[in-house]
Amino acid sequence: MADVTAPPGALRRFVDSDVFYSFRRSKVTVVAAIVTAIIVIGSMLGPWIAPHDTYDVRSLNLLDAFTPPVWSEGGNPSYLLGTDDQGRDVFSTILLGARVSLLVGFAATLFAMTLGVLLGLISGYVGGTTDAVIMRIADIKLSFPAILIALLIDGVARGIIPRDMHDDLALYVVIFAIGISNWVAYARTVRGSTLVEKNKEYVQAARIIGLHPFTIMIRHVLPNVLGPVLVIGTLGLAGAILAEATLSFLGVGVPPTRPSLGTLIRVGNNFLFSGEWWMTIFPGVMLVVLVLAVNLLGDWLRDALNPKLR
């Protein structure tokens, strides 16, 4: 994120940087990055590379339901990882499901990040009563489990939104619910860094020329507190993907017509004991691999940006 704003020559400096060096040195991180890249690109291109359009109900053939993976007995070569109870190709649903999972994960993380960074900046920079109010709200938020808040918001949203709009808005409700339950980590970290930065002389130099406090926060303080945010954001992305899967598994997440990995696991779970293991295992493995890879990237980033561990 910091590199986006960097001026020309940024690529060169990035390749030469300590961060990139530590990236090359860590094989686990390189593998994690490649796996993440494959999953992200694969799911982005999902609608084009998936062998079947599982969103198109007319293309489904119920007679193909419960087909096992190709290598098992009774497998069908056109369904690589088998089909589910409605005859949907599992491989295609995973590609499209990972797309939904990633979309929700990214959007929720971005939302939580924006909200948290903004509140943290204001809290740390303005201080006083504003700081106390924001931080007490954060404390209250922390005393509830995040998933509970997400469930609560989801439930309330279902009550407010008219029934026929549920499916259209469900995705946004999930993004909002996960985002709102994760902003505290960003707010606290940013507040801490802001408290340090705001007393540095470059911020005072900006105050002397009479810049608006908001301008100072965005232009001076923000770029200098973003490092830790990037780390929390990466780890938070894995958390958000898991949270979405949890909500969908519980049946309050995204609608089953556009299933995410969590929805796939839930649906498949019903057939686990009747022998159709592929319906739930493959999406599950996909989820584990994705979350693990993102988490490994986050761990590496945390260490790479921590000067004490170099």
Partner 1 sequence: MLKAAPSRGKFLGIDKDARPFVRVEGLSRYFDVSPPLLNRVLEGKPRQILKAVDGIDFAIGKGETFSLVGESGCGKSTVARLVVGLYRATDGSIEFDGHDFGRMTTRRAMAPIRSRIQMIFQDPYASLNPRWRVREIIAEPIRAYRLLDGDKAINARVDELLRQVRLTPADGTKFPHEFSGGQRQRISIARALASNPEFLVCDEPTSALDVSVQAQILNLMKDLQRELGLTYLFISHNLAVVYHISDRVGVMYLGRLAEVAPARTLFRQPRHPYTRMLLDTIPDMDMTGRQRNPVAGEVPSPINPPTGCSFHPRCPFANDRCKVERPEPIRRGEAFIACHGVEEGRIPDGPIGTAQAA
* Closest distance to partner 1 from the beta carbon of 2 (Å): 8
Sole window of 80-88, 171-179, 208-216, 268-276 interacting with partner 1 (rule: CB under 8 A): 208-216
- Residues 18/310, Cβ–Cβ less than 8 Å: yes
**How many residues does this entry show for the chain?**
310
- Check the CA dihedral 31-36-37-39 and report its sign: positive
Count the neighbouring beta carbons within 10 Å of the beta carbon of residue 161. 15
Q: What is the DSSP letter of 212?
A: -
* Closest distance to partner 1 from the beta carbon of 224 (Å): 6
Q: Which of 202, 269, 285, 288 binds partner 1 (CB under 8 A)?
A: 202
What's the CA gap between 272 and 117, in Å, rounded? Answer: 42
214: Cα separation from own chain's centroid? 28
- Does 63 participate in binding partner 1 (rule CB under 8 A)? no
Q: Which of 210, 275, 307, 309 binds partner 1 (CB under 8 A)?
A: 210
Q: Which is nearer to partner 1, 29 or 189 (CB)?
A: 189
- Does 99 participate in binding partner 1 (rule CB under 8 A)? no
Tokens 């971005």: give the residue: 110
- Does 208 participate in binding partner 1 (rule CB under 8 A)? yes
* Closest distance to partner 1 from the beta carbon of 5 (Å): 9
- Does 4 participate in binding partner 1 (rule CB under 8 A)? no
Tokens 């339901």: give the residue: 65
Q: Report the helix count and the strand count for the chain, using DSSP H and E.
A: 14, 0
* Closest distance to partner 1 from the beta carbon of 140 (Å): 18
Q: Which of 17, 22, 130, 224 binds partner 1 (CB under 8 A)?
A: 224
| Separation in Å, CA 8 to CA 12, 18, 160, 220 | 9, 19, 49, 20
- Residues 194/125, Cβ–Cβ less than 8 Å: yes
Tokens 């992305």: give the residue: 237
Tokens 């940024």: give the residue: 10
How many residues touch partner 1 under the rule CB under 8 A: the total is 16
Sole window of 55-63, 72-80, 204-212, 253-261 interacting with partner 1 (rule: CB under 8 A): 204-212
- Does 220 participate in binding partner 1 (rule CB under 8 A)? yes
CA dihedral 165, 168, 171, 173 (to 10 degrees): -20
Q: Which is nearer to partner 1, 27 or 212 (CB)?
A: 212
- Residues 105/293, Cβ–Cβ less than 8 Å: no
- Does 212 participate in binding partner 1 (rule CB under 8 A)? yes
What's the CA gap between 116 and 98, in Å, rounded? Answer: 26
Among candidates 287, 259, 248, which has minimal Cα distance to 147?
248
* Closest distance to partner 1 from the beta carbon of 207 (Å): 6
- Does 204 participate in binding partner 1 (rule CB under 8 A)? yes
- Does 56 participate in binding partner 1 (rule CB under 8 A)? no
* Closest distance to partner 1 from the beta carbon of 234 (Å): 20
Q: Which is nearer to partner 1, 76 or 224 (CB)?
A: 224
In single-letter form, the type of residue at position 153 comes to I
* Closest distance to partner 1 from the beta carbon of 221 (Å): 9
- Does 149 participate in binding partner 1 (rule CB under 8 A)? no
Tokens for 80? Answer: 């690589």
Q: Which is nearer to partner 1, 160 or 208 (CB)?
A: 208
* Closest distance to partner 1 from the beta carbon of 193 (Å): 13
Q: Would you tell me which residues interact with partner 1 (CB under 8 A)?
A: 7, 200-202, 204-212, 220, 223-224
